[in-house]
Amino acid sequence: MTEIILHEPLDMHLHLRDGAMLRIVAPLSAHSFSGALIMPNLVPPVTDAESMRAYRKRILAAIGDETFEPYMTLFFKPEYDLDFLAPMAEELTAVKLYPAGITTNSEGGVSGFDIEELRPALGALSELGIPLCIHGETGGFVMDREKEFVPIYEALADAFPDLTIIMEHITTAESVAALDRHPNLYATITLHHLLITLDDVAGGMLQPHLFCKPIAKRPEDREALLQAALDAHPKVMFGSDSAPHPQHAKECPGCAAGVFTAPIALPALAELFARHGKLENLQHFVSSNAQRIYGLNPPKKKVRLTDTPMRVPEKYGEVVPMFAGEEIGWSIDAVSVK
Ligand code: DOR
Ligand code: ZN
């Protein structure tokens, strides 16, 4: 039997939603992760200290006794400034910027990327040392959206050299390459983008549970992502972008974007890293890099995984997970909190 013990695993991009959905999905992440960066795209989005604090309380109530830190974010608005952000800086781990209308619940996001217009808000984040997480896609052709956004990432990185910019859920070789050109650019990579290409989504019968934004790309893109993750690129972190939608919102015309991976993420990652002979690098990808980049000190948690297969449930509540009903070669054997 092969095993790995992960210390303080972190999911640096997680959608927990609210209400009944929050109560179903939050305990699943809280069981195996020490903490997660919580996305603010609720309806309405989390845009002030009061709603951020209230959401954090609802998350803590939903996870019960689990040891888990919800690292909170705010939905970026161009009108943010130093006076607005400074009083909540201690409680904010990051601010998340969405281009307007690019994905689920992002209608109130940014239109156009005029650096001078964004200067008060981004200057304030830079001054306060709050990282900016960006969903980097233009409104162009769906396969080219992320590639077209790279010059915007680069312009922002140059204009705000002291601002930590996280390119969220990168899916292309161009994004991986951009990491090495700017000291202040970092990235998260999802589990599903390490595993699938567009062929898995739409190459045969349409697979709604693998449909997400950004859409999965070409084999050479997945290869570049895999290499960065498996080699423990120091600027790359695991962010699942686990995005639960009820089954009826996925299996219908107008399928919602999002892959639900939270409960299977660590076993599937262990299987992937083991298959490539890189298990020793998983700790960097799922925790150490994020701790260093964000300056986090997560609650202690040890997760022991072994190469004992697990059968993935068909559903968690009304949500169908990735690999529903299938077997994953690895499973969680024990979780301990020191
Ligand atoms: O597939 C996605 N789902 N991509 C996102 O950017 C948002 C997410 C969601 O909130 O459902
Ligand atoms: Zn997301």
Atom 3 of ligand 1, nearest CA residue: 258
CA distance 101 to 107: 4
Q: What is the pLDDT of residue 338?
A: 77
Domain count, the chain: 1
Atom of ligand 1 nearest to the CA of 258: 1
Select from 16, 57, 30 the least CA-distant residue to 245: 16
Confidence check: pLDDT of 269 > 90 = yes
Give the distance (Å) from ligand 1 centre to CA of residue 41.
9
Find the CATH number of the domain harbouring 11.
Answer: 3.20.20.140
Closest-lying ligand 1 atom to the alpha carbon of residue 39: 10
pLDDT surpassing 90 at residue 253: yes
| pLDDT tens digits for range 278-292 | 999 999 999 999 999
Q: Which residue owns the Cα nearest ligand 1 atom 7?
A: 104
- Residue pLDDT, tens place only, 46-84: 999 999 999 999 999 999 999 999 999 999 999 999 999
Neighbours of 290 (CB within 10 A): 29
pLDDT digits (tens, 9 = 90+) for 190-199: 999 999 999 9
What is the per-residue pLDDT across 271-328, written as a single tens digit (0 to 9) for each? 999 999 999 999 999 999 999 999 999 999 999 999 999 999 999 999 999 999 999 9
Catalytically active residues are: 241
- Ligand 1: which atom is nearest the Cα of residue 168? 6
Give the model's pLDDT for residue 133. Answer: 98
Residue 128 CA to residue 198 CA, distance in Å, equals 39
Q: Give 183 Cα–ligand 2 centroid separation in angstroms.
A: 24
What pLDDT shows up at residue 104? 87
Residue 224 lies in domain: 3-336
Q: What is the mean pLDDT of the chain?
A: 97
Kindly give the distance from the C-alpha atom of residue 55 to the centroid of ligand 1, in angstroms, as a whole number. 19
